[in-house]
Amino acid sequence: MSALDDRGLIERFLEMMRAEAGAAGNTIAAYGTDLRLASELLEGRLGEAIAADLERLGAAWQTLARTTVARKSAALRRFFAFLADEGLRSDDPGGALPRPGSSRGLPKVLSTGDVDRLFAVIARRQARVPADPNDLRLSALVELLYGSGLRATELVSLPRNAIAPDRPYLILKGKGGRERLVPISDRARAAVAAWRAHVDVGRAWLFPSGKGHLSRVRLHQIIRALAAEAGIPPDRISPHVLRHAFATHLLEGGADLRALQAMLGHADIATTEIYTHVDSKRLVELVNSRHPLGEALARK
C-alpha cells in the first residue's frame, strides 16, 4: 500500500473511534500520532503489515518506557482489529505486537470493614448536639462517592438540583463528553436532601464554597480527615479510592463487568478490568461455584 493508503485507513479508524467508541480527544490524538509514526517506520505499509513487520516495530521501541510501548501496542492492536472487522484485511496480525508488563500497580483497596468504619464516624458526628451542617455535607459526599462511583470533579461540580428525591439515577457527562446513567441509592438521595436543606436556594452548586463550588483539593482533605478519625491511614484513602471501592465491592457482590463499565463511564472495558481489582481466591471460588463443569462435579 502507498502512504496515502495508510493515511486513509488511519483516518477511517480515528473516525470510528470518534463516532462509535466515543473516545476522548486526547486519546484520538495519541492514537493518530502512534499510528502515523508506525506507518513511517514501515515506509507506508502499516495497513498491510505482517507479523515480521510488527516484530520489527517492537524492536524499534526497545529504548522506550514500558508504558509508552504498551500504549503504542494498544493503538495498533485496535487498528488491526478494526481493519479485520471492516473486511479490509482477512487476518489480524496484532498478536505479534509486544505486550510489556505494566509497572502500574493495582489501585488501593478499601475493605467493607474500612467503609463501615467511615460510616460509623459519620453517624457519630450526626448524632452530636448541636448538629453541624458540615456533618450532613460529609455524609452526602461519601454516600455519593462510595454509593455511586462519581469522579471527584463530577461530584464537586454537581448543580444544586442535580439529584431529585424521586429519581433514583443521575445523567452525567464525563470524560470525552460521554453521557452515562449513574444510580443514586435511597441512602444517597436522603443524605443529599438533608444537606441541600442547608444550601441557600440562590447557590448554583450542591456543594458550594466561596463564589464557586467545593474544590477537589478540599474534598481530598475532607476525606483524609474522615479516614484519620476512623483509624484508617490517610495515605490509603482518597475520593478516587472510594470510587474504586464502589466498583470493587459491586463486582464482589456479583455485578456484571459491562454494567460496571457503563456506571463508571469507561470507554474501554480494559480500563474497568484494571479498575475493579478482584483477588484470585474469589475468582477461583466463582469458577468452582458457577461454571457448568463445577456444578456437574458437585452433583456427583
Out of 117, 151, 180, 244, the active site residue is: 151
Considering only CA atoms, which of 289, 259, 260 is closest in space to residue 276?
A: 260
Out of 89, 240, 249, 277, the active site residue is: 240
Out of 78, 180, 213, 243, the active site residue is: 243
14 residue type, one letter: L
> Cell digits for 233?
491511614
Most distant CA pair in the chain: distance in Å?
Answer: 77
Are 212 and 205 a contacting pair, CB within 8 Å?
Answer: yes
Out of 108, 175, 216, 220, the active site residue is: 175
> Cell digits for 213?
463550588
CA atoms within 13 A on the CB side of 68: 9
| Residue where the block lists cell 445523567 | 171
The whole-angstrom separation of Cα 232 and Cα 63 is 41
| DSSP percent split of the chain into helix, strand, coil, nearest 5 | 65, 5, 30
What is the torsional sign of CA 82, 85, 90, 91? positive
Neighbours of 205 (CB within 10 A): 16
Q: Is there a catalytic annotation at residue 275?
A: yes
Are 117 and 75 a contacting pair, CB within 8 Å?
Answer: no
Q: What are phi and psi of 95, to 5 degrees?
A: -65, -15
Which runs of E-coded beta strand occur in the chain?
A: 169-173, 179-183, 208-209, 212-213
Q: Is there a catalytic annotation at residue 266?
A: yes
The whole-angstrom separation of Cα 186 and Cα 202 is 26
For residue 75, give the 3-state DSSP assignment. Answer: helix
Q: Is there a catalytic annotation at residue 175?
A: yes
Task: Report the catalytic residues.
Answer: 151, 175, 240, 243, 266, 275
